[in-house]
Structure 1
Amino acid sequence: MNKNIGLTQSLVIALLFFSVVVGYQPSCYASPPESIQLVYNKNTQTLVVNIAHDTMLKGSHFIKYIEIKKNGAVVSINKYESQPTGDKFSYSYKIPAIEEDTFQVTATCTKKDSVTSPLYTVK
């Protein structure tokens, strides 16, 4: 009986240790998006969103959502299943705009960290 209890305790400890080791993702591998910059091309009516997001865990840590606001109202929420290669990349969106319209974009990663662009005014 005591052998079984000792074996059970050892097994529980080993499983607990294994789950901690496998589930541990150091914060150095999961960083929030560093920056976001916007450029609008009036001729093509295209908003280009430039993002810097360095991650070592490309398969599980990436920019998942891009929310675009035009003049304070959400006009687009884009969901992604992966991130382009490299730590700096761009997404382009066809969104009609005129002079003095404003854009603000929030990029959110799978770890729930986010970065929001400064307010961008179309000129």
Structure 2
Amino acid sequence: MKHKTLKFYLQIGFCFLIFSNFTVLATSHSPQDLILSYDTENKTLTAAFKHSVSDPSSHFIETVVIKLNGTTLETLTYSSQPTNNEFSYEYNISASEGDEIFVSGTCNQGGTITQTLIIVNDLEDDPTIPSFPLSNIITSSMGTIIIVLLIIKKKGK
């Protein structure tokens, strides 16, 4: 009987250890996503973070580092995050075509996310490159398919 009781308590203790580790993993985690965008006209960098937390005043992205072409421009420290899930920060940064912007965000409870953005010319502003709306492409494709089907049907008669 003592052997079965000891085995039972060992199993309970083992389950407790496993479940307590899951709790730690669920409460402390790295930011899930970081999306960077740069507005060349306003010279504004937007860093959109996704970091789901239950309390943004105690679990948050604490440090954001911004580098331009390998040189650190800013290291910002925060004491909370604006929401408990997705939020964005905007930074005034002067960057030109070909520049590389690097951003990292570090959680105060551990974990870092990084992302790099290379500035390229906005093709919509270039008058030498025509843009075709998706509706034009779909319409012309459907017209071509109808013509081909009519030709195949005519040859089949």
The runs of 4+ residues in structure 1 deviating greater than 3 Å are: none
1:53 and 1:31 map into 2 onto residues whose CA distance is 9
1:35 to 28, 33, 36: 33
2:68 and 2:103 map into 1 onto residues whose CA distance is 9
The match for 2:69 is 71
State the identity as a percent. Answer: 32
The match for 1:84 is 82
Which one-letter code corresponds to 2:95 in the other structure?
Answer: A
| Residues 60-115 of structure 1, C-alpha deviations (whole Å, 9 max, x = no match) | 11000100011011111111111011411100000111111110100001013111
Unaligned segments of structure 1, at least 5 residues: 1-24
Q: Do structure 1's residue 54 and structure 2's residue 56 form an aligned pair?
A: no
**How far is the alpha carbon of 1:59 from its aligned partner?**
2.4
Unaligned segments of structure 2, at least 5 residues: 1-22, 121-157
The match for 1:18 is none
8 Å CA contact 2:54, 2:84 repeated in 1 = no
**How far is the alpha carbon of 1:56 from its aligned partner?**
1.5
**How far is the alpha carbon of 1:29 from its aligned partner?**
1.6
**How far is the alpha carbon of 1:44 from its aligned partner?**
0.4
2:28 and 2:56 map into 1 onto residues whose CA distance is 10
2:112 to 99, 107, 114: 114
**How far is the alpha carbon of 1:36 from its aligned partner?**
0.7
Which one-letter code corresponds to 1:110 in the other structure?
Answer: N
| Greater Rg by CA | 2
2:84 and 2:102 map into 1 onto residues whose CA distance is 23
Equivalent pairs, count: 98
User: Which has more helix, going by share of residues?
Assistant: 2
Normalised by the length of structure 1, the TM-score is 0.75
**How far is the alpha carbon of 1:57 from its aligned partner?**
3.3
Partner secondary structure for residue 26 of structure 1 = helix
